[in-house]
Structure 1
Amino acid sequence: MKKALRIIISLLILAFIGIQFIPVARTNPPVQVEPTWNSPRTKELFTRACADCHSNETVWPWYSKVYPVSAWIAHHVEEGREHFNINEKGFGRGYDEAAEAVEKGWMPLESYLPMHPEAKLTPEEKEELAAGLKATFDLH
């Protein structure tokens, strides 16, 4: 029984090591545009709470290189960029939905916050960021 357990554990370890070679796209495409922020505070709040998923300047943490977490994170970033990306042409589209998501507490995602506690916004910061997004993208 002990020998069988050791074999199973060894195979699981080998499988885990093997899946690390599955390629996952962790990209930062070139920045095409940069918004003219209505204030430095809006930019700071956005960078702190939103930029990893909604810009082309994602900071990929060490654990984004460990499969299967890497696939999950890459998917979230890809999805986030599709919905609202400040560094792509047409970046202002969707800003009203982004502001609403911040106001209602849907963003940043709860799953993002444990590893990024700096992204947790107070109710006042949520209001400030939502208003800042509206003001910034109403300018464009």
Structure 2
Amino acid sequence: MPYGRAHANPPAQAGPQWDSPQTQALFDRACADCHSNQTRWPWYSSVAPVSWLVQKHVDEGRSKFNVNVPGFGREADEAAGQVRSGEMPEKTYLPLHPEARLTATERDQLVRGLAATFGAEGGTERGDGDGD
């Protein structure tokens, strides 16, 4: 299968204890396609060369910070800073995903929520099979 057409969404092995439903909603809207195992794969994600870019973003995003893997990834504690600095959501993502554009107020809310959820330690996991 050519690169850019795998479109796998592995099962979630973990998930954060979000600080609020609002943080989760903002994350789902602006971040989850690349930073979770619940990627929405639009029609253009099957058409080269755009499919290559989409797959690259998802692969890189999941490898750095994925809310559905234990530990959430090496950059979980940096998520709030990347949103604050405007690095995320990536500029190349926004033209085809206008719903991911955040107002200044939404950006501030997401930054505070990510910091509260993941902090410097990476946050608290659930779904680890211990009944919590």
What is the TM-score of this pair, normalised by structure 2? 0.84
The equivalent of 2:6 in structure 1 is 25
**Which residue in 2 is equivalent to 1:6?**
none
Q: Deviations over 1:7-50 (max 9, x none)?
A: xxxxxxxxxxxxxx735322111111121111000000000000
Q: Is contact 2:64-2:73 (8 Å) kept?
A: no
Task: Give the alignment partner of residue 60 of structure 1, picking from 41, 44, 69.
Answer: 41
Secondary structure of the residue that 1:78 maps to in structure 2?
A: helix
Q: What pairs with 1:33-112 in structure 2 (closer than 5 Å)?
A: 33-91=14-72, 93-112=74-93
Over the residues paired in the alignment, what is the CA RMSD in angstroms?
Answer: 1.5
List structure 1 runs of 4+ shifted beyond 4 angstroms.
none
Deviation, structure 1 residue 92:
6.3
Answer yes or no: is the 8 Å Cα contact 1:56–1:87 preserved in 2: yes
Q: Which has the higher helix share?
A: 1
* Rg (Cα) greater in structure: 1
Kindly state the Cα deviation for residue 101 of structure 1 after the two structures are TM-superposed.
0.7
Taking structure 1 as the reference length, the TM-score comes to 0.80
CA contact (8 A) 1:92 1:137 kept: no
- Given residue 90 of structure 2, which amino acid in structure 1 is its aligned partner? L
1:128 aligned residue: 109
SS of 2:95's equivalent in the other structure is: coil
Aligned residues: 120
Q: Which runs of 5+ in 2 are unaligned?
A: 125-132
Distance 1:92 1:38, change over 3 A: farther
Give the Cα–Cα distance (whole angstroms) in 2 for the partners of residues 38 and 63 of structure 1: 34
CA distance in structure 1 between the partners assigned to 2:2 and 2:76 by the alignment: 35
Secondary structure in 2 matching 1:110: coil
Taking only the aligned residue pairs, the percentage that are identical comes to 56
